[in-house]
Homo-oligomer: A and B are copies of this chain.
């Protein structure tokens, strides 16, 4: 496999883009990434588009070809990939694979979703397409229900408290204030969090990521092509995709996702780095408790201590490991198919040293994108160019 580097990134703001067609958001992010890369469009050999529910919510598919057409890309393979909330990470991995395997020298991964135009009932029904509905549908659970259960197990087993989990919320919402692309940055007090509406006990309003529109994109090239582009490179050390159980009862432990655990292990092995080497991670905090579980599953924090570390400030930008300095899904937003590429956008900025909420001396960065009830996962490890 050939070495691959990221040379261009682009993103729309995450938030409300009422009335803007999804393909227009995707084209905007992709065009920005192409300019940032300084790559000749004729050299791009593959496009992967991550999207989850444009069919149900927009009546639009074949978006990969539509976006390539509007970008003026040549006649290349254009593929939509889907793995629920991990769709963006999967798009990135496939663009990486197309280059690593020698199919082409340059590729682009784009992620896009529009959701805010739908009613809550419509978007909840669409999001539940990520469940194994034949088996888990009768449970009546939605995703807040699943993560509420996970929180209860975590609290019972490890003594995790509301106040500790609130530290995750406060950190990510505060980080979001520094991110010009974020949908919902805020300076929140514990009392504001405590008194917010119950969504699915123990989850309250600020524990849940918002509904979002947005798009993000990354341009990748083979290392051997670096001299042909002008974008500031970031090395890809690993791009891993795994699967876990597709139904809730298939998970032996409700507060750990096998797909994350195995993806992280494989990524560290492929990259030849250890968890302790990671300076910054953008991980899949669709709910506050998800950040706690993810950080433990990734091996970044000892099991059971995820919320405690947040409360102690050890996951802040100047902490032991910076988690979600972008604001994460909680504050930056979660336009589902775009999220994985949005994470890469953030980590590339960190490793270029140009992030508005910069982690000091960030050298090794990680992204983590999780889909469904843990059925699909991607983990990437990136390194600042030396």
B56 touches A52 (CB 8 A): no
Interface members, chain A 296-331 (any B CB < 8 Å): none
A4, chain B: closest CB distance, angstroms:
13
Check if A129 is an interface residue, CB within 8 A of chain B.
yes
B376 touches A65 (CB 8 A): yes
Residue in B82, B102, B243 whose CB lies within 8 Å of A76: B243
The secondary structure that dominates the A interface is mixed
Taken residue by residue from 122 to 139, chain A's Cβ proximity to chain B (1 for < 8 Å, 0 otherwise) reads as 000110111011100000
Check if A372 is an interface residue, CB within 8 A of chain B.
yes
A55-B53, A55-B55, A69-B246 known; A371 vs B81 contact (CB < 8 Å): no
List of B residues within 8 angstroms of A81 by Cβ = 79-82
Q: Name which of A93-101, A105-113, A279-287, A343-351 contacts chain B.
A: A93-101
Interface members, chain A 225-278 (any B CB < 8 Å): 241-247, 250, 258-259, 262
Additional A-B contact list (15), CB under 8 Å, known A1-B101, A59-B133, A100-B101: A55-B129, A59-B125, A62-B83, A62-B132, A62-B376, A64-B83, A66-B132, A66-B375, A69-B250, A75-B244, A75-B258, A76-B242, A78-B83, A79-B94, A80-B82
Chain A residues engaging chain B, CB cutoff 8 angstroms? 1, 21, 23, 52-53, 55-56, 59-62, 64-66, 68-70, 75-84, 90, 93-94, 97-98, 100-103, 125-126, 128-130, 132-134, 241-247, 250, 258-259, 262, 371-372, 375-376
14 contacts between A and B (CB under 8 A): A55-B56, A55-B129, A59-B125, A61-B129, A62-B84, A66-B132, A69-B375, A75-B259, A75-B262, A79-B94, A80-B81, A80-B82, A97-B98, A100-B101
